[in-house]
Amino acid sequence: MSDNGNQIGSVSLSHGEILRYSRHLLMPEVGLEGQEKLKQSSVLIVGTGGLGSPVAMYLAAAGVGKIGLVDYDVVDFTNLQRQIVHGTHSIGERKVASARERLLDINPDIEVVTYDEPFTSENALRIAEAYDVIIDGTDNFPTRYLINDVSVFTGKPNVYGSIFRFEGQVSVFWAEQGPCYRCIFPEPPPPGLVPSCAEGGVFGVLPGTIGTLQATETIKILLGIGEPMIGTLLLYDALDLRFDRVKLKKNPQCKVCSPEAEVTELIDYEAFCGVPSHDHEEGRLDSEWEIEPRELASKLKSGDRVHLIDVREPHELAISALPEAQVIPLGSLAAKMHTLDSADEIVLFCKSGTRSARALELLAGAGFRKLKNLRGGINAWARDVDPKLPVY
């Protein structure tokens, strides 16, 4: 024992650290040796949003010595309902900077490295090289498949989490010991089939539950204790407070982790998934198919005949609505398409333009041509035309 603390090998805990982690040290599964393992360990968290927030905070509090944070977004007011690593004072700041400040406030004895850049095929292997575990805190399929392939190629465990509305999933994908993500989901869903949290919403406390479970699995892996969820997918339903476990098997024909793997290097994951690797709310249409809010307002004011169609869900009308619009939720549009007149000039809108862009593609595929998507949706209308309406 030195004056500064207890030392085993090349890693030591100061007196202050021994006091900080005393509740860990009392547990034989952790103890002094385990706490020193955590201090030697490094974890990369991809995403500092809903899932990344509780994961990062609990790993920092637990004493994981090096935490890497990857994100390239800024803190937005709408994040604060669930992304608890950030605060009101952080609005407009880079997310990685905001998160780093909070983690070092929780535990100044750790190292926090930030990567204020997208996690891409070009930089992923370089960034991941310095870390023991990769944690998936993302909100999109391209990055999720990228994280999986990086995990397989580097032999590192991938602690997976996913959330939507009231439901969440957790697993550990570690190809050296069990299945990888692609063993279970070899192909991404068709573009537009699975709405994002920005479109469908997310229960504010849900990422806390799932993120805390991801942090638990990470610490178990780092300490070598318990049974990590390798080969098991945990399903959580917050409405019924129900957990279900599904056993997963390795796919002997997996394109990435099998002996005869077809994918042996990182690919273009946005092209593979057919969607961008971000959760920003925006349509994906050429400008010729879009109309600006002020232009639409001018048409309506001048008496032009325009058929407005709101493709949002009925409960969203209580937040904001355009009284002239016909409400046809996106999921009902195909069944009600026969009621529309293709000779009409139709303007579709939703909250932000994403769902209405899909609605436009559906109608265009059925032969409608006089179509426009309200760029930015009713939120843009509220900002540019009618400030009495709230933005949500």
DSSP letter (8 states) at residue 198: H
Phi-psi region of 362 (alpha: psi -120 to 50; beta: other; left: phi over 0): alpha
Helix (H) or strand (E) holding 59: helix 52-62
Beta bridge partners of 346: 307, 371
- For residues 169 and 206, the answer to whether their CB atoms sit within 8 Å is no
Collapsing DSSP states into helix, strand and coil, what is residue 131?
A: coil
Q: Bridge partners of 13? A: 6
> Per residue in 98-127, is it b (16+ CB within 10 Å) or e — as a string?
bbbbbbeeebeebebbbbeebbbbeebeeb
Burial bucket for residue 162 (CB in 10 Å: 0-12, 13-18, 19+) = middle
Per DSSP bridges, beta strands 66-70 and 5-8 are unpaired
Residues with Cβ within 8 Å of residue 117, at least 6 apart in sequence: 70, 72, 123
Catalytic residue at 350? yes
User: Is residue 338 a contact partner of residue 301, using CB atoms and an 8 Å limit?
Assistant: no
H or E element at residue 272: helix 269-273
Residue showing tokens 């040290």: 25
Q: What burial class does residue 376 get, using C-beta atoms within 10 Å of its C-beta: 0-12 exposed, 13-18 middle, 19+ buried?
A: buried
Catalytic residue among 183, 257, 273, 350: 350
Q: Count CB neighbours of 228 within 10 A.
A: 20
Measured CA to CA, the distance from residue 375 to residue 360 in angstroms comes to: 12
Active-site hit among 183, 197, 257, 273: 197
Catalytic residues: 197, 350
